[in-house]
Amino acid sequence: MVQWLGQWPWQEGKADRGRFLLACLLMLGASGLPWLADPLQGGCSPWQTPLVPAWSLAAPDTIGAALTSVGAGSFMAALLCLGCALKPSAHQGLWRYRLAGASCLLPLCLFLLHFTAVDTRQGDLLAYHKLEALLIRRHLGYNLPRDWLPVTAPFALDMTALHWRLVLLVDQLRPGAVLPLIGLSLWFPLQQPDPKRSDDKVRPRRLARGCAWHPLWVTVALGVGLLPVLSAPLWSLLATWQASLAIASGEYQQALGRLETVRWLAPGTVDSVTYEEQLGQSLFGLEAHSQREAVSFAAAHSLLQQRAYLRAYQLLFPHWLAHTQRQQDPPESWLTTALSEALEGLVEAAWPSRTLSADMLERNHRLSMALVWLRRLAQVNPASLYAHYLLGRADYELRNYPDCLTEMRRASTLSADNDLRSSAYTYMGLAEIALGRSVQGREALLRALALDPDYHNNTAREALSGLH
């Protein structure tokens, strides 16, 4: 064993071997750092972020889901880079550099492919949370740092459009997704094989029988392993595009066939907004007077894009109510999300503007209207941070301080974003002071300042200074 290890030329190619080891460490870091952040809940664990969500049938929080996650892909890439670093000679062709570079870039490419090109429930959920975060920022009373690609019209965020998926992805990417870019530096070796050196020719032959990897077999193995991972989402994307073309040309039966292909290839997209909208459009084209849920959803989605929130609510609420009356048939996520968006549009339309601040009677009337829609939103979507935060704000403006405390405590537990939690603690402190509990109010305001180290929350600082 010692004699065999002594034959390894460890002194050759130190710089290249160091790059392989650095890539291994960076991919290990990528397997532990978040690649994506939820706008309300903070960073998502890479072991819970799917790498092939449209193809994998694994249920969440299972071993199968972990094996098809971003963390697993990054960890396997790290092991492959480590194997390339332990290769005995640095002069055995370029295939090791190509293999290591591809292993670093492949998880990132798969992640981008499935997030942007394959519409999934995770993307729809992130888009809805982004909408809630943007709407809440309107009511904070102070400005926060803007995103990389700021969205000035929150209700325009539509995950059925590719450019909006790219905008959301850029805004929510985290450092873990940047580390795999080290694969680009591995693509070109620092040293090239020297055919004039005789020892470069002898040594690979001597070690080929023992520990050398044959590049052809490695390439074939990786190709066979990635074939089902890549083919199913790509075919699903092609079928979705063909379904949209069939709907545009009036071939609704053909569109249904394409959607059935999508259902078979990518089960994870069945409950997505894109799939349900195309299904509803196809069914409406075949049965114009159909009352099916998918048809109503397609019509409501079109109304939401036209900002006709009340009509969209009237279409969707009976279907949601029918699901709740059947206790064993909970509403689908896309139905709850669309209905919540319609209710949030109604709240924003009813919420009093700053120009009405002088007219307290008109302001209280508008607040009461918004309060009705907010309570319905909390009933439809109990996990809505927007509903509980705005309920607390409305209760504070209407001087219903006990209910304001209840709603703001709920909002502070629903969100992991420090800016939103800071605002919630601010109004908890103001409500406590209004109820005569100055000590508890001051503690809540100090907690709000602790969550705001960048000095954005002027409301809490003014309250502590006595200017509020």
* Fold classification of 351-468 (topology level): 1.25.40
CA–CA separation, 334 vs 300, rounded Å?
12
For 355-403, write each residue's pLDDT tens digit: 666 678 888 888 889 999 999 999 999 999 999 999 999 999 889 999 9
Strand partners, 173: 36
In this structure, what token pair is assigned to residue 92?
């055995």
Q: What angle do CA 66, 69, 72 make, to 5 degrees?
A: 80
pLDDT for the residue numbered 173: 86
The predicted structure's pLDDT at residue 8: 40
pLDDT of 185: 75
**pLDDT, position 222:** 58
pTM for this predicted structure? 0.79
Calpha distance 429→405 (Å, rounded):
9
- Are 236 and 118 in contact by the 8 Å Cβ rule? The answer is yes
Give residue-wise pLDDT tens across range 225-269.
566 666 767 777 788 888 888 888 888 888 888 888 888 777 767
Q: Could you give the CA distance from residue 69 to residue 44 in angstroms, rounded to a whole number?
A: 12
Give CA torsion, residues 14, 20, 22, 27, to 10 deg: -170
Q: How many CB atoms lie within 10 A of CB 291?
A: 9
Distance, in Å, from the CA atom of 408 to the CA atom of 53, rounded to the nearest integer, reads 35
Supply the pLDDT for residue 323: 87
pLDDT at 432: 92
Determine the distance from the C-alpha atom of residue 319 to the mean position of all C-alpha atoms in its chain, rounded to a whole number.
Answer: 27
d(CA 189, CA 87): 14
Domain spans of the chain, in order of start? 9-213, 351-468
String of b and e for 243-276 (b: at least 16 CB within 10 Å)?
A: bbebbeeebbebbbebbebbeebbbbbbebbbbb
Q: What is the model's pLDDT at position 7?
A: 41
Please tell me the distance from the alpha carbon of residue 465 to that of residue 260, in angstroms, as a whole number. Answer: 63
Q: Shortest CA distance to 267 belongs to which of 58, 49, 11?
A: 58
390 is written with which tokens?
A: 């705005």
Measuring CA to CA, which residue among 266, 272, 271 is closest to residue 229?
266
Mention every residue, 6+ apart, whose C-beta is less than 8 A from residue 279: 256, 259, 294, 298
Asked if 268 and 119 touch (Cβ cutoff 8 Å), the reply is no
Residue with tokens 């292909």: 261
In 3D, which of 32, 26, 23 has the Cα closest to residue 83?
A: 23
For the chain, residues with pLDDT lower than 70 are 1-16, 52-64, 87-94, 118-120, 187-230, 232, 268, 288-291, 328, 354-358, 466-468
> Across-strand partners of 37?
43
pLDDT of amino acid 309: 93
CA separation for the pair 460, 468 (Å, rounded): 8
Q: Angle at the Cα of 363 (from 143 to 456), degrees rounded to 5?
A: 15
Q: State the sign of the Cα–Cα–Cα–Cα dihedral 332, 338, 341, 345.
A: negative
